[in-house]
């Protein structure tokens, strides 16, 4: 396996999870931290940033916060960043959410990086139709993090973006690693997952997370959860041994049925 810039790690997503529920955020963050999680993804879009900041409290210095700027105007973007500085102190990974006004935001984000208040600048989008624009953004050489969907049923990012990220040395964070969530309540049977057990996979969620992390181009997956027991289960997928091509194909076949 080739060396990765960052990872492979299981982080925590926070879309539609905590809202303003600080106690819920604390329970989930305590579980993820105890399980070794150090990467937390959020956004002004999710309404979870402040709760996450409060929940991270004692763990903040050991954690990597990946949040986003989701703003059509510079004023709004700067106001979002001011809030983030209050909640997180510093932002290790600042991503332009869904490419919104990315060319306008880049200069001030780069100034903040120069000043040390931002670590890396990234860019995200969830929709395959936006991937050519994501590729154009990456080719500027001004982003060092890419966040896209990648799961057995959503592999559009593997066509152009993952090879491009590899070529440019860009860190890749995978959103929606659990794919079509309708399959989660009725997962494949234990016997179907049996060939994956020697790879440390006990559950369907772990099979999907390990499927993504076993691609050497992937640095992190960020499953979202409100349940501490799911956070612990997910974190366990972040350790080797990694799946080989046959096991990854098995996960793809099971995802399709
Ligand atoms: N444009 C963007 O930048 C963008 C777009 C989409 C997503 N994202 C980021 O990516 C993150 C992940 O994407 P996502 O929230 O769409 O989907 P996801 O993480 O693939 O799935 C979250 C769902 O999976 C369930 N789940 C988590 N762990 C589980 C487990 N072990 N067993 C069974 N169910 C489990 C959760 O329910 P429970 O609460 O019951 O566990 C929740 O309903 C987001 O939170 C966000 O941070 C970014």
57: burial class by Cβ within 10 Å (0-12, 13-18, 19+)? Answer: exposed
The rounded Å distance from CA 225 to ligand 1 centre is 6
pLDDT at 180: 76
What residue's CA is closest to ligand 1, atom 36? Answer: 225
pLDDT at 1: 44
Q: What is the pTM of this model?
A: 0.96
Interatomic CA distance for residues 83 and 149, integer angstroms: 27
pLDDT at 186: 84
pLDDT at 22: 97
pLDDT at 15: 93
Interatomic CA distance for residues 129 and 217, integer angstroms: 21
What residue's CA is closest to ligand 1, atom 48? Answer: 175
What residue's CA is closest to ligand 1, atom 15? Answer: 224
Interatomic CA distance for residues 73 and 158, integer angstroms: 31
Is the C-beta atom of 177 inside 6 A of ligand 1? yes
Interatomic CA distance for residues 121 and 142, integer angstroms: 8
Averages of pLDDT over each 10 residues, the chain, 257 residues? 71 93 97 95 96 96 97 98 98 98 98 98 98 98 98 96 97 94 83 97 97 97 97 96 98 92
Is the C-beta atom of 63 inside 6 A of ligand 1? no
Encoding tokens for residue 132? Answer: 């050519």
Q: Given ligand 1 and candidates 9, 13, 126, which is best to mutate, with the most ligand atoms within 8 Å of its CB?
A: 13
- Whether the ω angle into residue 241 lies within 30 degrees of 0, i.e. cis, is yes
Interatomic CA distance for residues 187 and 80, integer angstroms: 39
Under 8 Å between Cβ of 228 and 28: yes
The rounded Å distance from CA 16 to ligand 1 centre is 8
Classify residue 42 by its DSSP letter: -
pLDDT at 154: 95
Interatomic CA distance for residues 113 and 107, integer angstroms: 10
Encoding tokens for residue 141? Answer: 């050489």
Interatomic CA distance for residues 78 and 56, integer angstroms: 23
Interatomic CA distance for residues 56 and 85, integer angstroms: 14
What residue's CA is closest to ligand 1, atom 41? Answer: 225
Interatomic CA distance for residues 53 and 59, integer angstroms: 10
Domains for the chain: give ranges and CATH numbers: 9-256 (3.20.20.100)
Closest-lying ligand 1 atom to the alpha carbon of residue 147: 3
Query: What's CA 242's distance to the chain center, in Å?
Result: 19
Place of tokens 């990234």: 122
The rounded Å distance from CA 112 to ligand 1 centre is 29
């Amino acid at each position: 396996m080739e060396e990765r810039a960052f990872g492979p790690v299981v982080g925590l997503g926070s879309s539609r999870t905590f809202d303003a529920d600080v106690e819920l955020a604390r329970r989930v963050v305590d579980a993820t931290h105890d399980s070794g999680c150090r990467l937390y993804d959020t956004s002004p879009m999710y309404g979870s940033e402040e709760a996450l900041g409060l929940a991270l409290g004692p763990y903040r210095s050991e954690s990597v916060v990946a949040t986003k700027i989701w703003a059509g105007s510079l004023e709004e973007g700067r106001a979002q960043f001011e809030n983030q500085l209050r909640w997180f102190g510093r932002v290790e990974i600042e991503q332009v959410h869904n490419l919104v006004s990315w060319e306008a935001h880049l200069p001030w984000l780069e100034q903040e990086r120069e000043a040390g208040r931002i670590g890396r600048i990234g860019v995200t989008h969830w929709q395959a139709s936006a991937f050519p624009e994501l590729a154009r953004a990456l080719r500027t050489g001004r982003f060092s993090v890419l966040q896209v969907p990648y799961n057995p049923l959503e592999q559009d990012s593997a066509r152009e973006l993952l090879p491009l990220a590899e070529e440019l040395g860009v860190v890749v964070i995978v959103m929606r690693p659990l794919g079509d969530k309708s399959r989660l309540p009725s997962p494949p049977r234990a016997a179907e997952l049996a060939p994956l057990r020697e790879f440390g996979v006990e559950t369907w969620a772990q099979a999907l997370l390990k499927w993504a992390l076993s691609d050497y181009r992937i640095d992190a997956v960020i499953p979202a959860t409100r349940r501490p027991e799911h956070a612990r289960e997910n974190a366990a997928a972040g350790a080797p041994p990694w799946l080989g091509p046959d096991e990854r194909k098995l996960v793809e076949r099971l995802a399709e049925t």
